[in-house]
Structure 1
């Protein structure tokens, strides 16, 4: 629940409507009009001379941090007890940031506390907005995200009420960056637009710089939300304005890089190439060597996609030379890896693959696990080009294991974030209690004054109080209804994949927990369910050759086909990337095998339309009944069953794709062969320990 600190009475036009509807006499609404004047908020008093110096400090922070720190020390003696509260809060905020850069957190916290006390005393929306933004930014920067998020909701309230354009910009921009970090892109986009509206007509010298920063941030968010046309429009607006202002020249390069990324995502490689080349010219003019190296790699990647290998190699080599000169390990690793891929495509398989494998190890030390996934897929492709299908399968297995680890890590992060948000709400309640106490004190003082002035109109005041309580109750009720709608929507989205609308992994965890608590298996032990785990063949090539938009179209279409094929009480999950999982209710192995045949047929028998392209798609799968082979679920639980289905799926990948392997049963007791099943299913099958059935997809002569 949020508390409004500054507004004690309803807005003037709302109060007039209330009286008019109830036919209160003219003297009553005149009194109400007089009381409502106290709710109008004016900009806080500031020291114009000190404010000008603080603006100069901001300008220096963009290019000379040392000079900025020195100027801040020169301003410090001018901050006295007579300095207006708004100016003092602003200076303290800048000094807090400077102290945090120096890791002097105790002194920074002391200033934060001083500003909080000033805000409580002044009860001014602009001061509260700046103080709350400082608190959020400071604790977020220190990694205390749970504490930072506790200030977000209140910050959003005061950002909307602030009157100074600089404060509104700072508050909304801080909120937007934090919301984007949380992954709440729609909310972040709205906050960035509020920040832009705050300075749209501002004549501050920093306004053009701030606008370009906001346009770049908004374009990035549109890209994250796959709003590619809006992203391109925003980028082109930013380019047009940056080119016409020499002070914004550094933004030109950044906008060209953004434009290239978006155009690659929509498959317009030639247009992306032109953007990157223009960005390269801009970077060289500005002597921005780091951007130049990045653009060289991006240009080389496009030529690689177009199989213009010599051109690609030349740009990767230029990027590599820069990385070596600057001892920049990420640039060296990426350029070397790409050059290895070029060699593979040129037929120099052994040397190219060795070079790529060496860089895979380097990436493991430089970046996160998620970044490593894309490189593993490139390495798997290299093995395929070299005809080393077993090595390809090994890399894909490594990719699958890493994906599972990332999924587990992401799930833990989600749980931590939920805990942080819960803690934030508790912190918000604590803040609300403090502000309520301040409100009560102010109301008591005002009530004593009003009793001396309006004794004759005490009855009107009572009616007014009742009206205010009613309006407050109605607003709280509306807010609670909106919160419930938002929670319901969040609960739905948390269990669904945003692209395909299918269930996600989290929903499977909840479903299997409910299944374990059910007594259905006890009541009808002869009935089994069926798991089918399938993976789209050569999905990466669809993304590479036709763009990620084509890949998304394929995923959406296959999701529709699988949903149409299944029954009402069956379930279909998007398991991750290009993988899908199907749970069939009450089926035996014969029915499961027949259904798997239908799945391969419905995927592979007809093409998928994307623009003017007709994409032929097939899938590989692994399937089994659950409980499996008569084993109880305590002996072989569902994660182990899915692991067996996954290994069966990769058998299909290794043996030619467009096929599915089903596990019929075990030829020896499970306890005797469990280790082999969990480590090398292929060997277990060769030794006759597992009985399998092969289901093949549509004949190859029906496919492109």
Structure 2
């Protein structure tokens, strides 16, 4: 159920069937429902003391509470407040920080640039540093609104700590809250909790109940990620109490959304559902089409997970025109996707696909390549459940292609970073050697002068020079040896997955040469994908997901021989290559892999996590015509049958016994319709079932 809520608050990944599938699509809504949390207090005519919280004007406080429902209009009101404020005062600076945050949410880059220019040329020298820090804050908000969360975090990290500690409390709290949420989103939970506790202390100092409520709701998020559910529950219950006392509709909307997240994570679906319905009531009361559209879409996610597809469809169809009215592109994407998934589940497969495809086209046009991949994966899951195995396999293949492209970009980035570190080290050593050479040259010059003045010391100078040259030679040898060692370490690091210790794709591409004659693979390939891995991340946390990957990698290593190649292929996928082609041996290994992954459950933090996998495998050259293929085509073929295993129920292995093809072009054509070819008898497949386990919900 977590997926229902993460869209509203931009929390870490989640999905209805696999809660994290749609987070990439909707992280931008962190700003939509949380902007009020980041702008905390109203201005005072003069700069407040470092430990004093200004009381401020009710007009600016109201903009902070409700402005994100219509950020462009709210920014205009803030502009009017600024024009009436004393120029160069803290009051004026405070208003600009609120106006800039609203402009970032409205994606009005031109108007925001004007605000930034005013801050960069602030006339009051006593507030110059504060204005400079505010510029970084607003640029981070701009990046955040564009879903560039990592860049936003780096921008906030660039604010000098002294500037932060010296900033007046209203601004300091905004900075702390923004950075705390960004740290939480990037997995730096300890830093997030520390920052959010500081922000909460300032909120309590302000005396504003609505702000205290929102602070506690956000802190509950960090406690959830830190695996402290009791603290999370306590925080969100206190947030609800404060919001009920305040009775502001926008505050209640946000707090009940936060409450729903906590109760969903604590496996209390009925309370989570009640919170979702309350959030919708308050969105209607606040007359905020944008918030209402998102809340309806989120509640639709909830009903999709409960398999109440008719109700989910009704909610999504109500959300769609509201999102379009509010010009909320992300809300429109959520609604379109949910309409499509609901229709697919109701048997209207072709029509449902059209809605999902429309959403993906919009998403791709907006640059959301990764979120398109997540939507494809989700589409595959729904088509699989609807019985459209061929459509599911097609969606999974498209998802794999996007995932591979993302992974290759990450690999290239990691290699470039490692090479840059190596080059920096090498340059430093070269500079050191150059300095030594310069020292020798200076010594030689001095020796020449002494030679002219003191012929009697000529022999001694030669001895000294010889010793220096000998020492230099020894040092050069040691330096070269160190460079060679560093180069070898770089090579090793670039070929090992840092989490699991298994080989990575780079190592595979080098090692596969010994198993490929003239580029043609000889041996058996297994491709293993952990079932519902994103759901594991969402239910137990990303640290638990990492623990599952490490545990599974150990089980895979134990299942094979020492000289077999085991690779972390990417994400939750693993690749195994063995030399044996014996049908009996290969089938036994496939069954052993299923059994060892499936039992016993992975133990993490006192919890038993059920893990299963889908496996595709095949031996090469391919029987019965001994068709030889290169390793890329071999893996694509195994990938196809692995997705067939997923489409036919997961926790199973599908292996190719034989293919009635004699050349690679015929193989490619058959692979495009593998499921149909199997039913027609042109493909011989072997299906193996994994161990009986408790289903992961």
1:594 to 573, 576, 588: 588
Maintained 8 Å contact 1:532/1:583: yes
- Change in Cα spacing, 1:254 to 1:627, as seen in structure 2 (3 Å) is farther
Alignment of 1:193-204 (within 5 A): 193=196, 195-196=198-199, 199=202, 202-203=205-206
- Change in Cα spacing, 1:530 to 1:161, as seen in structure 2 (3 Å) is farther
- Could you tell me which residue of structure 1 aligns to residue 177 of structure 2? 173
Work out the CA distance in 1 between the residues paired with 2:83 and 2:244.
36
Alignment of 1:19-418 (within 5 A): 49-51=45-47, 55-56=56-57, 58-59=60-61, 61-62=63-64, 63=67, 64-75=74-85, 78-79=87-88, 101=108, 103=110, 110-114=117-121, 128=129, 131-138=132-139, 141=142, 152-155=156-159, 157-158=161-162, 161-162=165-166, 164-179=168-183, 183-186=186-189, 189-190=192-193, 192-193=195-196, 195-196=198-199, 199=202, 202-203=205-206, 207-222=208-223, 228-246=229-247, 248-307=248-307, 315=315, 319=319, 349=347, 352-367=348-363, 368-372=368-372, 376=376, 380=380, 383=383, 389=387, 391-409=388-406, 412=409
The alignment's TM-score, normalised by the length of structure 2, stands at 0.60
Unmatched runs of 5 consecutive residues or more in structure 2: 1-42, 49-53, 68-73, 421-489
- Change in Cα spacing, 1:624 to 1:296, as seen in structure 2 (3 Å) is same
Work out the CA distance in 1 between the residues paired with 2:266 and 2:142.
34
- SS at structure 2 position matched to 1:75: coil
Q: Alpha-carbon deviations, 1:290-329, whole Å to 9, x = none? A: 4445444444544554455666566556556866887878
Residue 646 of structure 1 and its aligned partner are, at CA, apart by 0.6
Residue 128 of structure 1 and its aligned partner are, at CA, apart by 3.7
Q: Alpha-carbon deviations, 1:195-214, whole Å to 9, x = none? A: 415615534x6x54544443
Alignment of 1:297-696 (within 5 A): 297-307=297-307, 315=315, 319=319, 349=347, 352-367=348-363, 368-372=368-372, 376=376, 380=380, 383=383, 389=387, 391-409=388-406, 412=409, 495=497, 508-515=504-511, 530-535=524-529, 539=532, 548-549=539-540, 561-567=555-561, 580-584=573-577, 587-589=580-582, 591-603=585-597, 619-624=613-618, 638-652=631-645, 659-663=652-656, 673=666, 675-676=668-669, 679-680=672-673, 694=686, 696=688
Work out the CA distance in 2 between the residues paired with 1:234 and 1:626.
58
Residue 239 of structure 1 and its aligned partner are, at CA, apart by 1.3
Residue 622 of structure 1 and its aligned partner are, at CA, apart by 1.6
Work out the CA distance in 1 between the residues paired with 2:528 and 2:155.
45
Residue 94 of structure 1 and its aligned partner are, at CA, apart by 7.2
CA RMSD of aligned residues (A): 5.9
Residue 189 of structure 1 and its aligned partner are, at CA, apart by 0.9
Maintained 8 Å contact 1:344/1:385: no
The alignment's TM-score, normalised by the length of structure 1, stands at 0.60
Work out the CA distance in 1 between the residues paired with 2:554 and 2:321.
48
Q: Alpha-carbon deviations, 1:412-446, whole Å to 9, x = none? A: 378679989999xxxxxxxxxxxxxxxxxxxxxxx
Work out the CA distance in 2 between the residues paired with 1:678 and 1:398.
14
- Change in Cα spacing, 1:96 to 1:344, as seen in structure 2 (3 Å) is closer
- Change in Cα spacing, 1:230 to 1:677, as seen in structure 2 (3 Å) is farther
- SS at structure 1 position matched to 2:205: coil
Residue 218 of structure 1 and its aligned partner are, at CA, apart by 3.1
Maintained 8 Å contact 1:530/1:585: yes
- Change in Cα spacing, 1:595 to 1:408, as seen in structure 2 (3 Å) is same
Q: Alpha-carbon deviations, 1:318-359, whole Å to 9, x = none? A: 5568668878787677567656766666xx63xx22331231
Residue 73 of structure 1 and its aligned partner are, at CA, apart by 2.1
Residue 74 of structure 1 and its aligned partner are, at CA, apart by 2.9
